[in-house]
Amino acid sequence: MWNNAMWVGLPESETERCRILHGDMTGRFAYFRLDFEIAKKGSLTLDISANSRYRLWVNGVSVCSGPCKGDLTRCYYETADVSEHLKTGKNILAVQVLYMDHYASVHQQDRRAGIQSVLTPGGGHRLAMEGKVLDDNGAVMANVTTGTADWRVFLDGSRYLTSNEVTSCLGAVMETVDFSCFPYRWRDPDFDASSWVKPEPLEPVGTDGFMERVGLLRRFPMKERPIPLLFETPREFLRNRRAKNGALVLDAGEETSGYPVFRFCGVPGSRVRIVYLEKFTGDGLRKDDAEHGDYDGITDTLIMNGDKVTFEPFWYRTFRFIAIEMVETDIELISASYRETGYPLAVETYVESSESWVRQVWDMCVRTLRRCMNETYMDCPYYEQNQFPMDTRLQALFCACISRDERLTMKALEDFHCSITPDGLVHGRYPGSYQQIVSTFSLHYIFMLEETWRRRGDIAPFRRYLPDLDRILYYYNSKVGSDGLVGRLGYWEFVDWHPKWNEYGGVPGALTKGPSTVINLMYAHALERAAVLWEAGGRQALAGEYRARKAAILERVHALCWDEKREMYREGPDYPEFTQHAQSWAVLDGLATGERARTVLRHAMEDKDVLRVSFSTSFEWFRALEAAGLYDLTRSDIARWAALPGEGSTTCPETPERSRSECHAWSALPLYELVRAIAGINYADGVVTVRPNLSYLPDLRGQVVTPAGVVKLDYRREDGRQLCTVTVPEKMIVNCVDKKGTEIIVNRRESHGTL
């Protein structure tokens, strides 16, 4: 690991050859290539990193991409065993490197773009690799280490990332490729790279003894990748269709992410537009109606050179459909396929029922969660591709329902911790190439910390984050006004994408007149969560201070915002608006309990003028109904998800209606409900609690993964009663909570190894 490798980059002669001015390198590509001979097949495990992104091929086989998303203090590297791809004789390592200056990518332009979710220290195109090809006896047959091996490099002055109004200031990008200017066979074994230049040695990758002694850091402080490599799986399109404009439409069958691979042939100068689509649009049409619907989206543009050419984008694309518009008629599509990619999540939970919507919604939610897991959690894979604390907190909860793999969750917590600003708030999205502060999202970071600690049970991995709690809550406390409530927070005070709040950008309208009830109640909830964490960390006095502040906030909310006539909390002291958001948080904070809790929630559901939660804020609404003993009332809300497959959806959209994004993991809530509320399988403090609630389901079967093992379940109704059987490992501690009329039978089996 980084004993001898040098960072290598572009010599100045390459920028002069391409006539590229200094400062105009963002979104451009450099190709690094190493040819080497071995007398017999050997083994090669290599470490690799690049600035800002790379993709690695070994003898034409795509191996991995990276580096894992980090920031200015965490530059990750990957370790890959590529032995299976080596062969006797000539071998080729090919690395495509993209450079992005995050200072130059704040505003994407039509003819230049960066990937907004990538943050690196600058310094131009760089590659670092270390590794040796060994024979069976450990003898070195070839050295591939940069700074030692005979690498060659070529700067592509013609191919670059672009953006338009669809992708501006977001993570997704597009490409324009002119094959008459681009060495498109550069990865082939017989490609002549003799005219390519040697890369310039820049600096050692590792630190030396002197630097360590005096605390000097490299510009690229290297860290081992904390999550597994993304998978790449070959896939074929299910069918071809024609759009109403005549474009050829490739149908993947479901929304997916991957690297499409196309082969075309066309006369020089002829153009192809490749449009990646989540859905088709049109009044009264299903989202999969290619023959009648309209479309627009992320588009790659190819210019033919008269030869047979292969194109695959550098950055993955998300799509369900791909529309291929051959601008000239004398173009042939020879072949089309793709390699699906994403985080290798091992899904261990499943449920099924005789109610057909259960399987459809389950598959839709799992697919949505998978699509939004890459090197970070993502709000949506098609447009933004950013990791937001609000979205990520929910995704982590949903992920824990179906898998024991928490590596992406732990990385996300470290990401947010590293993003904290001098004001004391975490970034609204991180990692990212420019700062964005969503002031309410710092509360979701606190919620996520407490929930992850509760699942894991050990405070040790979280101690380093505990000071973050005080910084965030101090910021909120500094915004408390003379009325005793938190007022304007500054930055973006986002709560929900409700149509009535759209003019404020998802911010409660009450903030235009004074404090927001829902934000104050969220703050009170964060104080309680932080108190619990500090108690686990041994700081009882600080926990007591937080609870005193929580009590003061709740007292003022009730005194200033309770409406006796409507029997609900207003969305502000003098703001006559009522929301499901405020009522649900009032219940979760213990401000409304018992009959009052049931009253405010019933009014919030039945009164026509009450603002309804969207998908993103339904989690607290469902939890409040559950806490008040009204979970059966979620039937009408779940119906919104059950209707989606009939509308042509294969993933959960960002919002219930008029959604921009068709895949947004904060909307995968039914996954959580089926596991935690309906199956009633929960884990905390080493104990598995079983509390079935079939509610509006006649039966439920499946298995649920927990940190203590797998619980198998078989629930059904019989003679007006719930009969529930769970089968658990022999040593699992199980607490069965018997709801009235429910018989729970626990079968134990001997546990062998990992379940």
**And the tokens for 479?**
């915004």
Confidence of residue 22 (pLDDT cuts 50, 70, 90): confident
Three-state secondary structure call for residue 628: coil
Structural domain includes residue 530:
yes
Structural domain includes residue 428:
yes
- 498 and 572 assigned to the same domain: yes
Spatial strand order of the sheet with 6-9 comes to: 200-204, 6-9, 126-130, 45-51, 75-81, 222-224
Length of the chain, in residues: 755
Task: Report the pLDDT value the prediction gives residue 695, as an integer from 0 to 100.
Answer: 84
User: Which pairs with CB-CB distance under 8 Å and at least 24 residues apart come from 110-113?
Assistant: 110/162, 110/163, 110/164, 111/160, 111/162, 112/24, 112/26, 112/27, 112/160, 112/161, 112/162, 112/163, 113/26, 113/27, 113/160, 113/161, 113/162, 113/163, 113/167, 113/173, 113/174
Structural domain includes residue 133:
yes
Lowest mean pLDDT among 79-83, 532-536, 734-738: 734-738
Lowest mean pLDDT among 19-23, 257-261, 519-523, 598-602: 19-23
Rounded average pLDDT over 402-430:
97
- Give me the numbers of helices (H) and strands (E) for the chain, helices first please: 14, 32
Task: Report the pLDDT value the prediction gives residue 658, as an integer from 0 to 100.
Answer: 83
How far is Cα 387 from Cα 367, in angstroms, rounded to an integer?
18
Return the number of other C-beta atoms located less than 10 Å from residue 703's C-beta. 18
Integer CA distances (angstroms), 344 to 228, 375, 754, in order: 7, 10, 18
Last residue of a domain, one of 224, 256, 279: 224
Last residue of a domain, one of 205, 224, 243: 224
Rounded average pLDDT over 115-121:
90
Query: Letter for the amino acid at 266?
Result: G
Domain count, the chain: 4
Confidence of residue 109 (pLDDT cuts 50, 70, 90): low
Task: Report the pLDDT value the prediction gives residue 743, as an integer from 0 to 100.
Answer: 87
Task: Report the pLDDT value the prediction gives residue 14, as an integer from 0 to 100.
Answer: 94
Confidence of residue 105 (pLDDT cuts 50, 70, 90): low
Last residue of a domain, one of 628, 647, 678: 678
- 658 and 699 assigned to the same domain: no
Show the DSSP H helices in 51-183 as ranges: none
Domain containing residue 304: 231-342
Q: At what angle do helices 635-642 and 618-627 cross, to 10 degrees?
A: 150
How far is Cα 425 from Cα 493, in angstroms, rounded to an integer?
12
- 556 and 653 assigned to the same domain: yes
- 491 and 523 assigned to the same domain: yes
Residue partners of 311: CB distance under 8 A and separation at least 6: 177, 184, 261, 262, 263, 264, 274, 300, 302
Rounded average pLDDT over 512-534:
98
Question: Among 384-388, 716-720, 736-740, which range has the highest average pLDDT?
Answer: 384-388
How far is Cα 115 from Cα 102, in angstroms, rounded to an integer?
9
How far is Cα 542 from Cα 326, in angstroms, rounded to an integer?
66
- 149 and 242 assigned to the same domain: no
User: Which residue reads 């409660």 in tokens?
Assistant: 508
Structural domain includes residue 162:
yes
Task: Report the pLDDT value the prediction gives residue 208, as an integer from 0 to 100.
Answer: 81
Strand partners, 333: 264
- 211 and 291 assigned to the same domain: no
Q: Nearest 10 degrees: CA dihedral of 512, 515, 520, 522? A: 0
N- to C-terminal Cα separation, the chain: 34
Structural domain includes residue 379:
yes
The whole-chain average pLDDT of the chain stands at: 94
- 589 and 693 assigned to the same domain: no
Task: Report the pLDDT value the prediction gives residue 504, as an integer from 0 to 100.
Answer: 94
Lowest mean pLDDT among 99-108, 167-176, 294-303, 341-350: 99-108
- 302 and 441 assigned to the same domain: no
Q: Is the pLDDT of residue 606 over 60?
A: yes
CATH of the domain at 287: 2.60.120.260
- 293 and 389 assigned to the same domain: no
Lowest mean pLDDT among 111-115, 292-296, 477-481, 700-704: 111-115
How does pLDDT run across 442-456, given as a tens digit for each residue?
Answer: 999 999 999 999 999
Rounded average pLDDT over 723-728:
95
CATH of the domain at 736: 2.60.420.10
* C-alpha Rg value of the chain to the nearest Å: 28
Structural domain includes residue 558:
yes
Q: Work out the percent of the chain whose per-residue pLDDT is above 70.
A: 98
Residue partners of 468: CB distance under 8 A and separation at least 6: 417, 420, 426, 445, 449
Structural domain includes residue 1:
no
Task: Report the pLDDT value the prediction gives residue 29, as an integer from 0 to 100.
Answer: 96
- 305 and 382 assigned to the same domain: no
Peptide bond into 461 cis (omega under 30): no
**And the tokens for 250?**
């490739």
Task: Report the pLDDT value the prediction gives residue 68, as an integer from 0 to 100.
Answer: 98
- 244 and 177 assigned to the same domain: no
Task: Report the pLDDT value the prediction gives residue 329, as an integer from 0 to 100.
Answer: 77
Rounded average pLDDT over 733-740:
87
Structural domain includes residue 519:
yes
- 402 and 259 assigned to the same domain: no
Q: Is the pLDDT of residue 753 over 60?
A: no
Residue partners of 741: CB distance under 8 A and separation at least 6: 720, 721, 722
